[in-house]
Amino acid sequence: MLKGSQHNTLDEPWFGQVHWLINLYHAALKASAIMARKMNEPALATRYESIVASGSKAMVDVLWNEEFGYFIHKPGPGDKEKHGSTNGCHIDQVLGDSWLWNVGIDGILPKDKIRQTLESLWKYNFTPDVGAFREKVPEGRWYAAAGDAGLVMSSFPYGKIEPKSGKKSYAGYLNECMTGFEWQVSAHMIWEGMVEKGLAIGKAINDRYQPELRNPYNEIECSDHYSRAMASYGAYLAMCGYQYDGPEGKLAFAPRMQQDDFRAAFTTAEGWGSFSQQFANHQQRASLDLRYGKLALREFKLALVQGAKANNTTVTIDGQKVAVTSSKHQDSVTLRFIDELTLQEGQRLDVTFS
């Protein structure tokens, strides 16, 4: 567990046991362990993994509040170490696990705690009218105004422990709606199967930035064109169910909606193109249309649409059959190519399950 002064992007270090920084630290270690094994440094990987194993358990033991249904922040002991979200329901409390989804790595915290945390964020932090909320807590910047829906940074459903020290008031970072934080939660909800709620948060942001209201190309946080708003791409990846590992040559899609007629752009290490999927009469078809560069593949994984049959699998490149083995795992099929293939610009890979 982290302790002491913990630097972050909210302009002032937080102290004590900080849920979102600890979870992000654990996620970084888990990713680093995977990279260490790829670089043939098993001792380093084992060290990182052991910290994650003990640290994530400690985070649950120390910071999970069963009555509240979310993780809390326990500030430091000093008089100037009290600011932060304290006992509030903070928007980034499971940020690390959210990031792991985006890079195709298994999560850290127990699934039931993650789900309950996201449900609590929806219950306590989402409001159809930010103006009504801000009438009671006016401190902070008005990135969302009366009539706007949004996901507030931190709520205090069980009474507020005033998070003041250092700065005169830290409320500005708790009462606001900043889209980079909102998009992170939206993406996490979609990944975890809470698609409607995740999309509702995305729609609230989209509605706030309609051209007649604000600049749709500038989701303002601390300044114009703030990069954190690019967390919206995580929601896009989640809707595609996209996972990619370049060195391993693995690509996967699991669309979260419109599975019977889905199409989206994708990027890889050396190319980009279009993925599409159709489903009709118990037959599922999927295609990779490479528009630029090249794509090396050893493995291609697809989620099965409900009702799809996967007794027979056909794979072709530009109409020519490709040798593969396939394995079915509940709601997905993994295709492994007998020989590593490389799609070139302009080529099309087609898969049919019947």
Per-residue pLDDT tens digits for 183-205: 999 999 999 999 999 999 999 99
What pLDDT, on a 0 to 100 scale, did the predictor assign at position 165? 44
What pLDDT, on a 0 to 100 scale, did the predictor assign at position 11? 84
Digit-coded pLDDT (tens) for 217-275: 999 988 899 999 999 999 999 999 999 999 999 999 999 999 999 999 999 999 999 99
Q: Show the tokens assigned to 82.
A: 């009290």
The DSSP result for 42-54, as a single string, is HHHHHHHHHHHHH
Cβ neighbors of 131 (< 8 A, separation 6 or more) are 145, 146, 147, 148
| Least confident span in 23-37, 118-132, 134-148 | 134-148
What pLDDT, on a 0 to 100 scale, did the predictor assign at position 22? 98
Measure the CA–CA gap between 12 and 194, rounded to whole angstroms. Answer: 33
CATH of 241-353, one of 2.60.40.1180, 3.40.50.620, 1.10.40.30, 1.10.1660.10: 2.60.40.1180
Half-sphere exposure of 70 (CA within 13 A, CB side): 30
Measure the CA–CA gap between 38 and 32, rounded to whole angstroms. Answer: 10
Tokens 């500030």, residue located: 75
Digit-coded pLDDT (tens) for 297-351: 999 999 999 988 888 999 999 999 999 999 998 899 999 999 899 999 999 999 9
Q: Give burial (CB, 10 Å; 0-12/13-18/19+) of 331.
A: exposed
β-partners of residue 333 are: 302, 328
Please state the domain extents for the chain.
19-238, 241-353
β-partners of residue 89 are: 155
Measure the CA–CA gap between 257 and 307, rounded to whole angstroms. Answer: 15
Query: CA 312 → CA 94, 306, 316, 351, distances in Å?
Result: 41, 16, 13, 10
CA-angle at 315, arms to 311 and 318, nearest 5°: 155
What pLDDT, on a 0 to 100 scale, did the predictor assign at position 303? 97
Measure the CA–CA gap between 138 and 204, rounded to whole angstroms. Answer: 20
Q: Are strands 250-253 and 89-90 parallel, antiparallel or unpaired?
A: unpaired
Dmax of the chain from CA atoms?
A: 71
Assigned CATH for 19-238: 1.50.10.10
Q: Are strands 283-303 and 250-253 parallel, antiparallel or unpaired?
A: parallel
Q: Is the pLDDT of residue 126 over 70?
A: yes
What pLDDT, on a 0 to 100 scale, did the predictor assign at position 12? 86
**H or E element in which residue 200 lies:** helix 195-208
Q: What is the pTM of this model?
A: 0.95
Backbone angles phi, psi at 53, to 5 degrees: -60, -45
Digit-coded pLDDT (tens) for 33-88: 999 999 999 999 999 999 999 999 999 999 999 999 999 999 999 888 888 999 99
